[in-house]
Chains A and B, each alone.
Chain A
């Protein structure tokens, strides 16, 4: 049986501090590894531009992965934007997109890549 839950847990300062340190290391590693993810998304973007069937699926998959990890590491904006992109790519999948729709999706991908690059350069 599942009950409604509180969103925070009591922790002592030492535990919190240790966890924060570990999180900071993981966040740094995640940001340092963003170049590979940027590369995969950029490749999917180019494939989408050339009407590849699998491009949107790849895009969704990459955005989904980033959403889960970034959010768990406290990078809320990256996570939220990744989720929005995943949803938008899901919406676009299997549709006959108008040039305007394609341009809108391309713009969203570009914005998201810019955001990732900002985090990459911070490291």
Chain B
């Protein structure tokens, strides 16, 4: 795996390289500034397969660098691991929003570095596999999501705030109890999604989900949020540091966004499916569930009254 580590402290770059080599990563390059990193990242031949980015750098900080890296077409899904001190919670949130997949805390711990890099390698391997599948299927019929299964995750490249399920889970796992309590998740569920999946070409189904996710993202544009599409026609939005949200206002915004989409669909003689919005779910201060269950609870809440009841029960327990 070719790694590019970016930190404006030359000594830290040396240390990181030594540590990575110790872990068996021999193909490590370093850059001291954002612009230098962007130059290296732009190369298509022998592309960088994982970025390690320090958050606090001058003059371009790590968050801006992540945004610019994500704007490079061939790095929209390349794993990006942020480097940060524990005191940088707000910056870490911003980095996830900009498209980072994970973060490592400074001072550097070998075990943590090893685990994070393994995760990045897994993302990279899945991505390579998806690309191979993609290229293979494109010869016959285009396909946009790796599993091509109804229950499989759909990776969205062009929706603001869209992240993989794994990235959202990582983010949730790294929040403390109090911060986690200040965030809420909202599930959105495409009604009769299975029928649409059966009737449509998988490519168009993925495009449909992408359009819906785009509408959700726009409806939530007033809040810092991240989105994921875990499969089965579901979309989950995580509203960071928003314990209380006006769900009626969000529904109204969404209805407005979907209306615009409905007009586009009717122009091609297609009916836009209904998108159900679940009640926001949160976790309790003294949580008994793993934080990642927030995603499942948000999905359940979006799946009609039964799901909503179940989610309310869970909320009551939490």
Binding site for B on A (CB under 8 A): 1-3, 5-9, 11, 15, 19, 22-23, 26, 29-30, 33, 61, 64-65, 67-73, 79, 83, 86-87, 90
Contacts and interface: CB of A to CB of B under 8 A. Distances in A.
Contacts of B141: none
Contact of B107 (A23, A26, A68): A68
A99 to B, nearest CB: 27
A2 B85 contact: no
Interface of B: 8-9, 11-12, 14-15, 18-19, 22, 54, 56, 58, 83, 85, 87, 102, 106-112, 114-115, 119, 166, 169-170, 173-174, 292
A67 to B, nearest CB: 6
Nearest to A7: B111
B220 to A, nearest CB: 25
A11 B58 CA distance: 36
Contact of B106 (A7, A8, A72, A87): A72
Contacts of B169: 1-2
B132 to A, nearest CB: 24
A119 B53 CA distance: 28
B11 A5 contact: no
Contacts of A90: 87
B111 A65 contact: no
A19 B22 contact: yes
Given A2-B119, A79-B107, A73 B85 contact: no
Nearest to A19: B22
A41 B255 CA distance: 54
A33 B58 CA distance: 19
Contacts of A83: 85, 87
B6 to A, nearest CB: 14
Contacts of B18: 19, 22-23, 26
B14 A72 contact: no
A78 B18 CA distance: 22
B111 A6 contact: yes
A30 B11 contact: yes
Given A67-B107, A72-B106, 7 more contacts: A8-B111, A26-B18, A61-B56, A67-B85, A68-B107, A79-B107, A86-B85
B111 A71 contact: no
A7 B109 CA distance: 8
Contacts of A71: 106-108
A53 to B, nearest CB: 17
Contact of B85 (A19, A26, A68): A68
A57 to B, nearest CB: 11
A64 B58 contact: no
Contact of B174 (A2, A5, A9): A2
A5 B107 contact: no
A51 to B, nearest CB: 23
11 contacts: A1-B166, A1-B169, A2-B169, A5-B115, A23-B15, A65-B9, A67-B107, A68-B9, A69-B15, A73-B11, A86-B85
Contacts of B15: 23, 26, 69, 72-73
Contacts of B14: 26
Given A1-B166, A2-B173, A2-B174, A69 B12 contact: yes
